[in-house]
Amino acid sequence: MKKIFFLLVVLLAMIATGLYGLNHYREVKKHQQEQIAHFLASCVNQGILSLFRLQANDWKKHPGFYREQQQALRADIVALPQKTLDGKPFHSWKYAVEICDKLTRNSNLQHITIFRPLGELASIEMSDPRTFKKREALRKRKKIIVALQESARAADRYLRDLQSDLNTQLQTYRFSSEDKAIILGKINSEVLEFYQKGKFSLKSVEIYLERLSSFYRLMAENPRGYTVRNGSLYFYDRKLRSQVEALNRAILQGEGAFFANYTQIVVGKQITVPAI
């Protein structure tokens, strides 16, 4: 009887120890999941904050600002793991850091695709009338306009691409369905829930770029119809002058709206606080 009682006590002790160990494992795992989710949410937010700084830039004054932001975002991300990690690194933490690095690299590439052509468009060289007749200059302008068309498409799908990139990275690193749900839930609740697609108009940008392309093509294809004196255009062909003036007027009228589109790719949501 004493032996049975002793074995029962041992069994109960083992069960209690097992339950304690299981509970401790679950708590550790939950804490690690929360750390990863919060870290990746912070990572995504840093990328969006960089986008906001780029949206606020004056591209005529600072055409190379995208390079500064590329370096600044990278520096912020390098410092992020140390600011976020509570305790020692664990196995899946390494994957989270790698995912953040890839998300950041892709965000920087996306920002370059979107904003570098704006700086090129705003350059003095782009609008220099002394180069309107040069075929080489026309080829360069065409290249910039093609880059701007891709820029507009990338800006229009910015948030969709970000969410797609997130899903791809989590899938690549084989996070469990539970982990993915926690991570995406945290990113949505801490970050994406506060942002939305802005009033960026792809159609408006495309119309402006088509007019710009027509203007430069018209000038290059009719070199004998005009001349440049002291930086101003003088026309020999009245019909050409009428076409050029109409296009130039439409371009000047649309320039402000064109650049304004790039200030509202992504905007903050207005959170309504319910009345008490």
Task: Decide if 231 is inside a domain.
Answer: no
**Does the pLDDT of residue 273 top 80, yes or no?**
no
Position 24 scores a pLDDT of: 41
Q: Helical H runs in 122-237?
A: 135-156, 158-172, 177-190, 202-221
Mean pLDDT of 219-243: 90
Task: Decide if 189 is inside a domain.
Answer: yes
Q: What percent of the chain has pLDDT over 70?
A: 87
Query: Which candidate, 257, 248, 241, 262, places its Cα nearest to that of 212?
Result: 248
Task: Decide if 112 is inside a domain.
Answer: yes
Mean pLDDT of 27-38: 81
Which residues, 6 or more positions from 65, have their beta carbon under 8 angstroms from its beta carbon?
A: 54, 57, 59, 115, 119
Position 147 scores a pLDDT of: 97
Q: How many domains does the chain have?
A: 1
Q: pLDDT confidence of 178, banded at 50, 70, 90?
A: confident
Only one residue has tokens 């309107």, namely: 132
pLDDT digits (tens, 9 = 90+) for 74-95: 999 999 998 887 778 788 889 9
The residues that bridge with 266 in the sheet, in sequence order, are 197
The residues that bridge with 117 in the sheet, in sequence order, are none
Query: Which candidate, 55, 63, 47, 175, places its Cα nearest to that of 109?
Result: 47
Position 16 scores a pLDDT of: 47
Mean pLDDT of 14-18: 52
Position 189 scores a pLDDT of: 93
Query: Which candidate, 204, 216, 54, 217, places its Cα nearest to that of 125?
Result: 216
Position 25 scores a pLDDT of: 46
Query: What is the DSSP-derived secondary structure letter of residue 201?
Result: -
Computed from CA positions of residues 222, 227, 231, 233, in that sequence, does the dihedral angle turn out positive or negative? negative
Q: pLDDT confidence of 4, banded at 50, 70, 90?
A: low
Range of the domain at 87: 2-197
Task: Decide if 218 is inside a domain.
Answer: no
pLDDT digits (tens, 9 = 90+) for 128-148: 999 998 888 989 999 999 999
Task: Decide if 7 is inside a domain.
Answer: yes
pLDDT digits (tens, 9 = 90+) for 251-272: 999 999 999 999 999 999 866 5
Task: Decide if 87 is inside a domain.
Answer: yes
Ranking 8-22, 181-195, 229-243 by mean pLDDT, the lowest is 8-22
Task: Decide if 11 is inside a domain.
Answer: yes
Task: Decide if 236 is inside a domain.
Answer: no
